[in-house]
């Protein structure tokens, strides 16, 4: 956290120095007066916002970006801009965050964009899709490709600004009570798997269900469900799934699960420019830190899991099964694309970006791991 604050502070200080140099270089007294007035206004401006998130306040790392954001914003404004964070235990509506922010009940929210697919199917693109981008590819698409432009296009109608809010990276394919060797093995399995991945699995004969998080372990243990996906070792270990399901499958359905910060546009526009910049910078920094926190947690958790539960078998779905999953995914995506012009445009844009970026992904980090992991 201290490192993040130092980095953010350095960025802001650098920006102030550049502005200062520009002021010295000009003789325009009006510009100086405006800059001085803005500085006074910002110093005296007291702002209190409320933030609602889908997660319980203590569910790290999903909840971490909100707490880090609130601290950074407060620290960088000398306590003048405060954000009060409410977890789902406070507002009781974990899937009501978009409506909260849209209707100004909360100025800012933290959730996952694909939860709003019932309101607009195009929101799925800003979380992740099966067989989609890796985390690094997706962040590059957001900030240096067309991702932010498409997010604005989709969320404008809600009166909400949308920003990346933290990424889990690739999520595991789930915990299974039995080994999956063929597509036939999937048929009739009762599985908790939401979103587009649920639609895909349903096409392969899986009986898809959605069960509240608090009931997942009991459901798996008692046989109400035969399999489920959650996140990865760092979060799964808290749920205890490894104690009742020995097969742990690698991922395919959520290669880069991005959370989101949603900001009420009217509330944002009322902020002093300086506060707007601080908020945006703090959102970006806290989002980045979530990935590092989750990566570390998963590294630690997996080391503990495999030591204490050596019967866990890490598996990848066989290639014929994966191909069927990919074919079903293409069918689902193409069906939506045939009905929605924006969906079709984003789909085409992402595919083109992946085709280009994936070459470097394979040459770079993946190439390094593949060629060095067997060395002594």
More confident residue, 45 or 153: 153
- What is the residue-averaged pLDDT of the chain? 91
Position with higher pLDDT, 194 vs 314: 314
Neighbours of 346 (CB within 10 A): 23
Q: What is the pLDDT of residue 212?
A: 80
Evaluate if residue 27 carries a pLDDT over 50. no
Of the ranges 6-15, 52-61, 213-222, 267-276, which one carries the lowest mean pLDDT score? 6-15
pLDDT for the residue 195: 86
Question: What whole-number distance in Å separates Cα of residue 30 and Cα of residue 37?
Answer: 10
Q: Which residues make beta-bridge pairs with 227?
A: 176, 191
The region of weakest confidence among 17-26, 128-137, 178-187, 302-311 is: 17-26
- For residue 30, the model assigns a pLDDT of 53
The hierarchical CATH code for the domain 2-168+256-296 is 3.40.190.170
pLDDT in the model for residue 1: 53
**Residue 38 pLDDT exceeds 70:** no
Instruction: In whole angstroms, give the CA distance from residue 54 to residue 77.
Output: 27
Residue pLDDT, tens place only, 85-122: 999 999 999 999 999 999 999 999 999 999 999 999 99
Instruction: Please determine, for residue 26, whether its predicted confidence score (pLDDT) is greater than 70.
Output: no
The pLDDT assigned to 213 comes to 82
- Of residues 327 and 1, more confidently modeled: 327
What are the sequence ranges of the domains in the chain?
2-168+256-296
pLDDT surpasses 70 at 35: no
pLDDT at position 211 is 85
CA-based angle 65:69:72, to the nearest 5? 140
Q: HEC profile for the chain? A: CHHHHHHHHHHHHHHHHHHHHHHHHCCCHHHHHHHHHHHHHHHHCCEEEEEEECCCCCCCCCCHHHHHHHHHHHHHCCCCEEEEEECHHHHCCCCCHHHHHHCCCCCEEEEEHHHHCCCCHHHHHHCCCCCCCCHHHHHHHHHHCCHHHHHHHHHHHHCEEEEEEEECCCCCCEEECCCCCCHHHHCCCEEECCHHHHHHHHHCCCEEECCCHHHHHHHHHHCCCCEECCCCHHHHHHHCHHHCCCEEECCCCCCCCEEEEEEEHHHHHHCCHHHHHHHHHHHHHHHHHHHHHHHHHHHHHHHHHHHHCCCCEEECCCHHHHHHHHHHHHHHHHHHHCCCHHHHHHHHHHHHHHHHHHHHHHHHHHHHHHHHCCCC
pLDDT more than 90, % of the chain = 86
Q: What is the mean pLDDT of residues 260-280?
A: 98
What is the rounded CA–CA span in Å between residue 328 and residue 263? Answer: 35
pLDDT value at residue 20: 42
Share of the chain above pLDDT 70, in %: 88
Cα–Cα dist 214/358, whole Å:
37
Task: Please give the pLDDT value at position 4.
Answer: 52
Radius of gyration of the chain (CA): 23
pLDDT at 225: 97
- Of 17-21, 44-48, 143-147, 315-319, where does mean pLDDT reach its minimum? 17-21
């Amino acid at each position: 956290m201290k490192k993040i604050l130092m980095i953010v502070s350095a960025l802001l200080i650098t920006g102030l120095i550049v502005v200062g140099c520009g002021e010295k270089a000009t003789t325009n007294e009006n510009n100086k007066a405006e800059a001085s007035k803005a500085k006074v206004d910002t110093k005296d401006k007291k702002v209190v916002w409320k933030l609602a998130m889908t997660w319980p306040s203590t569910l790290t790392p999903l909840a971490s970006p909100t707490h880090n954001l609130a601290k950074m914003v407060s620290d960088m404004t000398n306590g003048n801009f405060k954000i009060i964070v409410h977890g789902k235990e406070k507002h009781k509506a974990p899937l009501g965050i978009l409506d909260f922010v849209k209707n100004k009940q909360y100025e800012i929210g933290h959730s996952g964009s694909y939860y709003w697919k019932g309101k607009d199917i195009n929101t799925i693109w800003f979380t992740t899709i099966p067989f989609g981008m890796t985390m690094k590819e997706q962040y590059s698409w957001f900030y240096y490709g067309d991702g932010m432009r498409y997010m604005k296009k989709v969320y404008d109608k809600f009166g909400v600004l949308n920003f990346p809010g933290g990424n889990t990276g690739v999520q595991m394919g789930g915990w299974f009570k039995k080994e999956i060797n063929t597509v036939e093995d999937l048929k009739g399995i009762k599985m908790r798997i939401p979103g587009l991945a649920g639609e895909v699995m349903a096409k392969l004969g899986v009986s898809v269900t959605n069960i509240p998080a608090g009931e997942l372990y009991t459901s798996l243990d008692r046989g109400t469900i035969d399999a489920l996906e959650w996140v990865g070792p760092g979060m799964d270990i808290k749920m205890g799934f490894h104690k009742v399901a020995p097969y742990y499958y690698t991922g395919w359905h959520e290669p880069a699960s991005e959370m989101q910060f949603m900001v009420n546009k009217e509330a944002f526009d009322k902020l002093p420019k300086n506060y707007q910049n601080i908020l945006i910078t703090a959102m970006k920094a806290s989002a980045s830190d979530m990935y590092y926190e989750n990566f570390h947690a998963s590294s630690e958790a997996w080391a503990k899991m495999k030591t204490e539960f050596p019967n866990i078998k890490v598996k990848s779905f066989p290639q014929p099964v994966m191909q069927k999953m990919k074919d079903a995914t293409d069918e689902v995506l193409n069906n939506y694309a045939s009905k929605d012009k924006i969906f079709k445009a984003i789909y085409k844009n992402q595919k083109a970006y992946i085709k280009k970026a994936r070459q470097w992904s394979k040459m770079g980090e993946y190439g390094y791991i593949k060629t060095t992991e067997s060395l002594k």
